Chains A and B, each alone.
Chain A
Amino acid sequence: MKRSSASVSRTIAPVVALLVLVAGVARSQTARDTILQGRELVINHACAGCHGGLSPVAEVKWLAGMQAPLQEFYVGPCAVTPGATPCFKTRARNLTPDNATGIGRFTERQIFNALRFGLRPGETPDVTITSHTPGVGNFPANPRYLAPPMPWPEWRYMSDRELWAIAAYLKRGLKPVSNKVPDSEGPPDFWASEYTPEKLGPYPFPRFPAEFEQAPK
């Protein structure tokens, strides 16, 4: 009995090993797919339009943040009338996983929270956010939001899977590039009065067809 059991394990051992191997490959394939999906989303959402100094994917500065003061945004009345106040200069930060100047020290969850909720990863605890309303659940009572014109209020409607894929690509699919971008300016409430739930509109978006939509006949 004992012997037969041993011989059975001998027989199935290679099979088990093969299964483990296949599962392992399958798992790494999934991670690779996630990163590739994230890459596609980053390209077709034009992230590098701001964050890569307009450089194409093949260039070293790809996603490494603003490269020159000319690429600063002016937020406030000064965007229309030079010299008008308030005037905030905002800058697209380095999205490569460099520890000192990029997002290397943030978790994928913090990047997900930035894309879904607009929460600055350096100012927001690394937790799963459980509501869309400040002070409710563990959504910070005094939220600190990413500076405009980062279009997270629209991109938050991407699926969980897509946002996690972007986070995975930025953290694991890019090489770190050192490029220190000065901090964006902004009001002392970190745009909280601009990004109230009322101004942001509903999440998730209303069921189709909404007021100005029509269902196909």
Chain B
Amino acid sequence: MGQGLIPDQACSLVLRTRLGRGGLVVALCLWPGAHRVDVDAASVLTSRLAAAERPDTLLDPPVLRNVSHSRGTVEVNLTASPVRRALRPGSPTEAYAYNGTVPGPTLEVHEGDRVVVHFRNQLPEPTTIHWHGLHIPAQMDGSPLTPIASGAHFDYVFTIKRGTAGTYWYHPHPDRRSGYQIAKGMFGAIIVRAKDDPLQGIPEKLLILSDNRFAADGSVEFADPNSVAGMRDEVNGREGDVLFVNGQVGPSLPIRSGQLQRWRVVNVAAARFFRLSLTGHTLLHVGSDGGLFERPVEVSQIDVANSERVELLVRGTGDPGERAALRALPYDRYVPQTRPSDWNTPRDLLTLAYTMAPRATTPPVPATLRHVPALDTSIVAATHVLVLSQGLINGQMMDMARVDVHATLGATEIWQIENIVGMDHPFHLHGFQFQVLERNGVPEPFRSWKDVVNVRKHEAVRLVVRYDDFPGLWMYHCHILDHEDHGMMGVLEVHPPPPRKRS
């Protein structure tokens, strides 16, 4: 993926697999020479791989092919349809997919691009595409207010705001069915690139983290809502016992000793929280939901709540032939009543496999990445208090016909999100990136653009947001999909400013 791949690694993502019984070894170079891959060819490739033996090298999802010939326009075709494919290696089943692949193809765009997505819904039910984290008009946001009926077409048209380079994702957001559709396979990444990316040239990997669980026949398993398992899902959110990176189980990611890699990590799991560590390595945390920080932060582990993204620089400090594990460490986000018995067990997600190539010289990491302007908290128009309890915001379930928070276009406001129960709630605001000011009164250590903030058990988070550009109705909700689908959501209306009085 990515234009950043340097030539001598252009074929580093060679995939070897055996197709069929003949033991035919096929090597495919996954580097087409540009950052646009024909999606149809790529889907054939990945579905063949799924049918064959499990590949153990981490694959990038295909990239959506730009069919536009005009500069600055990215025009793509995206179809949601039922497919028969293996979500868990070796067990084909009925799934839902974007353009036939799971994960869906990656949407790659540049800041300032005009994006046209010709979307066709071939699912047997309504859906939407929510462009998670993008600052685009409300009617293009793919919220539950704008369902696309089964069999219908819709063109999502929007422009990528400058200064928003980063990692995002897209997923269905229909009323009450997001968890179901995403579990069936519908999610894909969005990469917004900047012309002046300070990390340009560093090889990139996309890591889409997900989980799922399956019945014996390989089908996606959902608990009966009236069973104890169903109640547990309703409280915890539905977690799966099989963990995936880019739809693969336990893949390996090659790295050369001394190499620097940029990882874009997206947590698309319905409820699972990933506390990541890379054995024997520290990580440089360089970015979050809305793009890069001002400077890298060295960490030994990193939390990725539901729907959050992190950008990391991984320094290949190991020796040729060594291996390291990207690990999901235990994290207690649960109430005692429904905490899983195995919550305390670390899980391996991926093996970082050092090639035998001799150690390369590690390129320097820039000390400063970009300027992240602070939102002006001296002109705050209002402070909204939102109380998160179990499945509820301010004691209420969402009503799409009700507006819970009113605001004026262009205003800067503070949201105080108070979690009064004993489990974490990752809070997402549609349409507008915000900045976290403090947690339980403690100022955030550094500034970043966020669209999801994990509000930990019994924690109060203050954030500041400015409603730029787009009036309309916007959702905010807990991004544990079961909570969202059960109505732990509210509606923000951004009103156009009143006409100015003539003096």
Report the minimal beta-carbon distance from B440 to chain A, rounded to whole angstroms: 8
For B422, give the chain A residue with the smallest CB separation: A183
Taking a contact as CB atoms closer than 8 A, the residue among A122, A144, A180, A185 that contacts B336 in the complex is: A185
| Also in contact, A123 and B421, with CB within 8 A (given A142-B234, A188-B232, A189-B228) | yes
A49 at the interface (CB under 8 A from B): no
Docked Cα-Cα span, A100 to B337, in Å, equals: 21
| Residues of B contacting A161 in the complex (Cβ-Cβ under 8 angstroms) | none
B391 touches A123 (CB 8 A): yes
A126 touches B335 (CB 8 A): no
Which of B90-98, B159-167, B245-253, B392-400 contacts the other chain? B392-400
Docked Cα-Cα span, A205 to B370, in Å, equals: 69
A106 touches B395 (CB 8 A): yes
B234 touches A100 (CB 8 A): no
| Residues of B contacting A106 in the complex (Cβ-Cβ under 8 angstroms) | 395
B389 touches A100 (CB 8 A): no
A105 at the interface (CB under 8 A from B): yes
Interface size on B, residues (CB 8 A): 26
B395 touches A126 (CB 8 A): yes
A188 touches B235 (CB 8 A): yes
| Also in contact, A188 and B418, with CB within 8 A (given A107-B395, A125-B396) | no
| Residues of A contacting B407 in the complex (Cβ-Cβ under 8 angstroms) | none
8 A Cβ contacts from B300-341 to A: 335-338
Report the minimal beta-carbon distance from B316 to chain A, rounded to whole angstroms: 43
Docked Cα-Cα span, A186 to B225, in Å, equals: 19
A188 touches B395 (CB 8 A): no
B420 at the interface (CB under 8 A from A): yes
Docked Cα-Cα span, A126 to B391, in Å, equals: 12
B18 at the interface (CB under 8 A from A): no
| Residues of A contacting B390 in the complex (Cβ-Cβ under 8 angstroms) | 120, 122-123, 144
| Also in contact, A188 and B421, with CB within 8 A (given A100-B460, A122-B389, A126-B395) | no
Interface size on A, residues (CB 8 A): 28
For B457, give the chain A residue with the smallest CB separation: A183
- A122, A124, A186 interface centre (most CB from chain B within 10 Å): A122
Docked Cα-Cα span, A142 to B337, in Å, equals: 14
| Also in contact, A105 and B232, with CB within 8 A (given A126-B395, A142-B226, A186-B336) | no
| Also in contact, A126 and B231, with CB within 8 A (given A105-B387, A105-B418, A187-B337) | no
B396 touches A126 (CB 8 A): yes
| Residues of B contacting A120 in the complex (Cβ-Cβ under 8 angstroms) | 390
Report the minimal beta-carbon distance from A96 to chain B, rounded to whole angstroms: 14
8 A Cβ contacts from A121-153 to B: 121-126, 141-142, 144
For A123, give the chain B residue with the smallest CB separation: B390
A101 at the interface (CB under 8 A from B): yes
Docked Cα-Cα span, A81 to B389, in Å, equals: 35
B458 touches A180 (CB 8 A): yes
A183 touches B392 (CB 8 A): no
| Residues of A contacting B460 in the complex (Cβ-Cβ under 8 angstroms) | 100
Q: Which residues of B contact A (CB under 8 A)?
A: 225-226, 228, 231-232, 234-235, 335-338, 387, 389-392, 394-397, 418, 420-422, 458, 460
Q: Lowest 9 CB-CB distances: which A-B pairs, in order?
A: A126-B395, A183-B422, A122-B389, A123-B390, A185-B336, A186-B337, A122-B421, A188-B338, A105-B387
Apart from the given pairs A142-B234, A183-B336, A185-B337, 9 other A-B contacts in the complex at a CB distance below 8 Å: A105-B420, A122-B392, A125-B395, A126-B394, A182-B422, A183-B422, A186-B336, A186-B337, A190-B337
Q: Can you name 16 A-B residue pairings with CB atoms under 8 Å?
A: A99-B420, A100-B418, A105-B420, A122-B390, A122-B421, A123-B389, A125-B396, A126-B396, A142-B226, A180-B458, A183-B421, A185-B336, A186-B337, A188-B228, A188-B231, A192-B231
